[in-house]
Amino acid sequence: MIRLVDTDLDGTLWDRTVTVRPEVRAAIEELHRQGVVVLAATGRRPRSARRALADNDLSLPAVCLDGTFGEDFASGRRFHESLFEPGTALAVLDRFVAHDVAPNVFVDHDAVDVLLATEPSHRPEAAESLLDWARVGPLHESVPEHRVAAFTVIGGEYDRLAPLAASISAAGLARATLTSDSLYGGTSLSVIPASASKWAGVAAFAAAAGIDPSEVLGVGDAANDLELLHGAGRAVAVRSGAPEV
pLDDT for 182 beyond 80: no
Residue of 223 and 35 predicted with greater confidence: 35
pLDDT value, residue 118: 84
Look at phi and psi of residue 38 and say left if phi exceeds 0, alpha if psi is from -120 to 50, else beta: beta
Q: Provide CB contacts within 8 A for 140, sequence distance 6+.
A: 90, 93, 97
Strands lying side by side in the sheet with 69-72: 77-81, 69-72, 62-64, 37-41, 4-7, 216-220, 234-237
pLDDT value, residue 122: 65
Please report which confidence band the pLDDT of residue 217 belongs to, taking 50, 70 and 90 as the band edges: very high
Q: What is the average pLDDT across 82-97?
A: 97
Please report which confidence band the pLDDT of residue 131 belongs to, taking 50, 70 and 90 as the band edges: confident
pLDDT above 70: percentage of residues in the chain: 96
- Residue 177 CA to residue 169 CA, distance in Å, equals 9
Please report which confidence band the pLDDT of residue 132 belongs to, taking 50, 70 and 90 as the band edges: confident
pTM: 0.87
pLDDT for 22 beyond 70: yes
Q: Provide CB contacts within 8 A for 233, sequence distance 6+.
A: 2, 212, 213, 214, 215, 216, 217
Q: What is the average pLDDT across 78-92?
A: 97
pLDDT for 125 beyond 70: no
Please report which confidence band the pLDDT of residue 32 belongs to, taking 50, 70 and 90 as the band edges: very high
pLDDT value, residue 120: 77
Q: In whole numbers, what is the pLDDT of the chain averaged over residues?
A: 93
Side-chain half-sphere of 100: how many Cα atoms within 13 Å? Answer: 3
- Residue 222 CA to residue 218 CA, distance in Å, equals 12
Q: How many CB atoms lie within 10 A of CB 169?
A: 15
Alpha-carbon Rg for the chain, nearest whole angstrom, is: 17
- Residue 218 CA to residue 229 CA, distance in Å, equals 5
- Residue 66 CA to residue 44 CA, distance in Å, equals 8
pLDDT value, residue 123: 60
Q: What is the average pLDDT across 76-94?
A: 96
